[in-house]
Amino acid sequence: MNSTVSFFYFLSFLTILSAVMVVVSRNPIHSVLYLILAFFTLSGHYILLNAQFLAAVNIIVYAGAIMVLFLFVIMFLNMKQDNEEAKTNIAKIAATIVGGTVFVILFGAYRKSAIPAFNPENFDSQVGMIENLGHILFREYLLPFELASILLLVAMVGAVMLGKREIGERHF
């Protein structure tokens, strides 16, 4: 077992652990911080898979923007004390059973299906580089790209409209 492989298993362990802590933590701030850790480990996976551009974008978009927004809202609503009523144990057990069943079903499906290995002859290590992705993005996927920009515009307008305080509305 060489060092990269053991590093892969270590990263996977860290990913799963922080994902579990996101769900288990009682304090929302801790959840956010564990989720940031999970995104970092996922970026590590992307780098191992030679997708450097997406690793950087993952950090910038998820850890740098989205999670700051989460943290911002949590601080804004001042959710420091844990006043979340826990669901009943039956609900928790049922949820775990549902999740476990999904996992078992998918796992069974993987065992039955033939998953392709990589092909050393036509392997292209430059796939994840930004030049390559840019060519694909702006040639074959130009329409979805433009649509994504419209989606972002609509989301921005929606967020501003939702956040705007109407006349007579009470303050925080």
Residue 90 is a binding residue for another protein (CB under 8 A): no
Residue 14 is a binding residue for another protein (CB under 8 A): no
DSSP state of 117: P
Task: Tell me the two tokens of residue 98.
Answer: 């549902």
Q: Which of 8, 81, 106 is nearest to 48 (CA)?
A: 8
Residue 28 is a binding residue for another protein (CB under 8 A): yes
Residue 108 is a binding residue for another protein (CB under 8 A): no
Choose which of 10, 108, 146, 154 interacts with another protein (CB under 8 A): 154
Report d(CA 25, CA 132) in Å as an integer: 40
Report d(CA 32, CA 68) in Å as an integer: 9
Total number of residues that touch another protein (CB under 8 A): 107
Residue 142 is a binding residue for another protein (CB under 8 A): no
In the complex, the smallest distance separating the C-beta of residue 79 from another protein, rounded to whole angstroms, is 7
Residue 117 is a binding residue for another protein (CB under 8 A): yes
Residue 10 is a binding residue for another protein (CB under 8 A): no
Q: Is 38 exposed, middle or buried (0-12, 13-18, 19+ CB in 10 A)?
A: buried
Choose which of 76, 90, 143, 167 interacts with another protein (CB under 8 A): 76
